[in-house]
Amino acid sequence: MSGRPEVLFPLFAEATVLDGVGPKTAQALAQLGIEKPRDLLFTLPHSGIDRQRRDTVQGSEPGTVVSVEVLVGRHIPARAKGRPYRVEVTDAATTFQLVFFHARGEWLNGQLPTGQRRVVSGKLEFFDGIAQMVHPDHILRPEEAEAIPAFEPVYPLTSGVTQRTMQRAAASALDRAPELPEWIDPGQLAKAGWPSWREALRQAHGPEGVAGLSAEHPARQRLAYDELLAHQLTLALARADRARARGIVSRATGRLQARVLAALPYRPTGAQERAMREIAQDMARPTRMNRLLQGDVGAGKTLVALMALLVAVEAGGQGVLMAPTEILARQHLEGLRPLAESAGVVLEILTGRDKGAERAAKLAALADGRIQVLVGTHAVFQKDVAFHDLRLAVVDEQHRFGVRQRLELGAKGKGADVLVMTATPIPRSLSLAQYGDMEVSVLDEKPPGRLPVKTALVGTGRLDEVVDSLRRAVGEGRQAYWVCPLVDESESSDLTAAQERFTRLRAALGEGVVGLVHGQMPPAEKDAAMARFVAGQTGVLVATTVIEVGVNVPNASIMVVERAESFGLAQLHQLRGRVGRGTADSTCLLMYQPPLGETARRRLEILRETEDGFRIAEVDLEMRGAGDLIGHAQSGLPRFRVADLERQAALMAVAQSDARALLASDPKLEGARGAAARQLLWLMEQDKAIRLISVG
């Protein structure tokens, strides 16, 4: 496995080996991400032009492309500078004109000699009722006209590259594509009716009609599947590699868990019990756990996380719970402390705020095992933090937490199990793309006693009514969030939006009733403002989106989101999840600036219809596409050239089970299909995966 197989060399040459591609064109192609023949093979045409031969242009719609055989009539040279040169031609039914600007007469006489027959193909326009074809794309003798494809593929372009260049280069890249052994499971191939790899490329670059361009076409599905399979093989290899790394066996006794369950005022949901069981089973295995706990807003992830941490303690070790911000770490602490106390477990917090003697004392207690569960921010990563026996790391809110941090945390405890919690429901296809190397537990039931939140849409014109009803609610002792829009990327403008709203609400509702939190505040001030709201000293908290993750104020029962149309669906769903945590009926008001566009309206209506985060995430994916959903830069989502995660979501699941099955039967990819799969990994530039096999 030392290097790229020789059969693939032609696809990894410089782009200049392709027909019609010189150094300058090669530079232009690089703008499209095409640096070698392989890249062009996976750059498929996005549309096509119907050039089927017709008898006449008569009856054609203006603006359509027509291919027709004509008899060339008289030439009408340009009468003045800047005027066009015209050639009259006659097809089987009518006479029309070919129009040329800046054309040389002798060249045109050579191309279109009067009295001869030619096949012309181009866009038809009507001018004063006369049909014209301006600068035909093709002018050929009838015996050469076979060269015009009946359906001509159209490729993405960049400046300095024409369709003709792309078509020639793509044809020459196809000529370089070797026959490769089949890496797809024969059963899957037969069931789906997919062509071989090379044939699929040929069909995708030479579509016979509009159907050949669709994501559902067998050739395109096959090529998309190849990409997804290579990606899932990489994740499965990473997973197998981790499974080889020794983990620690942590066996639950159930003693501490039973005490916590006895102290709870309710029974866990079936989904919570299932997740707890899956986690405890993973922790008891000698391999490292790497599990994602995915739960909708308010599905009770914290309890599941605590139970997992208790397994670590029951087994004689320690656990750590990592939160992305200080506010959240403190909240976890407040939520968990009473439960931990009921089990007699020592729980402490470590954040950047701990200094001097206090910090030293905590570190000492951690190092000799007196602190059993630590809650912290990334301060836990600092060099001098050492655990006595770390068994489990729970990471809250994956998006702020890359794979690198997962590994760093794992390094703190050799072989510690890892549980990642996310409150963002992710559609299955995406969670497979992003977390395909992890096992997944889903909490898809709401705990008993969570009241539904009433969601209403109101136009900004009704602002005064909203403020009036807020005044009444606060008078009755209820609390409300008021979320201000992020006006644009700059922090300063959303700051002014929040500050203006704060000033106006304070004037309307009275001094001391309204608090303010925004991203520009020093952390201590932010925490203080939050603390006053949590304690019920302020009735209304004006905020930019800093409150979207995890904040828990049971008495807050009103959520106003201003300019809701400027927020994403997932974000609005998260914000709404901040209310409805107590005993009062809760309301979420989505204020929008009319008129609403079609998409924005649909987004807000889906929120009014459902509180199911997974359903909302699926709609979000359909509406926005995978890249936007989690923001490519930080998403860790692979960028696929052919595969379309929205339309081909189902293929991802097949690819995952196929990749896992192949590695289970052939862990080092040495059998016939395994060797073919290695070529696929080289072809898809999955070097990480290749390193994992060669070390294995």
Residue 370 binned pLDDT confidence (cut-offs 50, 70, 90)? very high
Residues 305, 331 contacting (CB under 8 angstroms): no
Compare 457 and 695 and report the one with higher pLDDT. 457
Which structure tokens are listed for 653?
Answer: 């699941």
Whole-number average pLDDT of the chain = 84
Residue 80 binned pLDDT confidence (cut-offs 50, 70, 90)? confident
Instruction: Specify the pLDDT at position 492.
Output: 53
Beta bridge partners of 152: 49
Which structure tokens are listed for 197?
Answer: 């790899």
Residues 6+ apart with CB under 8 A from 291: 278, 279, 282, 417, 418, 419, 420, 438, 439, 440, 441
**What is the per-residue pLDDT across 117-171, written as a single tens digit (0 to 9) for each?**
999 999 999 888 788 999 998 899 988 888 788 898 989 888 888 888 999 999 9
Highest mean pLDDT among 365-379, 445-459, 611-625: 365-379
Instruction: Specify the pLDDT at position 413.
Output: 58
Q: With 90 as the cut, is the pLDDT of residue 244 above it?
A: no
Domains of the chain with CATH codes: 52-148 (2.40.50.140), 255-443 (3.40.50.300), 453-610 (3.40.50.300)
Q: With 80 as the cut, is the pLDDT of residue 588 above it?
A: yes
Compare 446 and 344 and report the one with higher pLDDT. 344
Residue 487 binned pLDDT confidence (cut-offs 50, 70, 90)? low
pTM of the model: 0.65
Residue 629 binned pLDDT confidence (cut-offs 50, 70, 90)? very low
Highest mean pLDDT among 59-63, 280-284, 582-586: 280-284
Residues 617, 427 contacting (CB under 8 angstroms): yes
**What is the per-residue pLDDT across 102-131, written as a single tens digit (0 to 9) for each?**
878 888 888 899 999 999 999 999 888 788
Phi, psi of 47 (to 5 degrees): -155, -175
> How buried is 71 (Cβ within 10 angstroms: 0-12 exposed, 13-18 middle, 19+ buried)?
middle
Q: With 80 as the cut, is the pLDDT of residue 557 above it?
A: yes
Residues 6+ apart with CB under 8 A from 124: 57, 60, 61, 62, 63, 64, 65, 66, 131, 132, 133
Compute the distance between CA of residue 96 and CA of residue 129 in angstroms, rounded to an integer. 10
Residues 149, 140 contacting (CB under 8 angstroms): no
Q: With 80 as the cut, is the pLDDT of residue 634 above it?
A: no
Q: With 80 as the cut, is the pLDDT of residue 350 above it?
A: yes
Compute the distance between CA of residue 374 and CA of residue 590 in angstroms, rounded to an integer. 38
Mean pLDDT, to the nearest integer, of 61-68? 89
Share of the chain above pLDDT 90, in %: 37
Compare 446 and 290 and report the one with higher pLDDT. 290
Q: With 80 as the cut, is the pLDDT of residue 431 above it?
A: no
Residue 208 binned pLDDT confidence (cut-offs 50, 70, 90)? confident
Instruction: Specify the pLDDT at position 99.
Output: 92
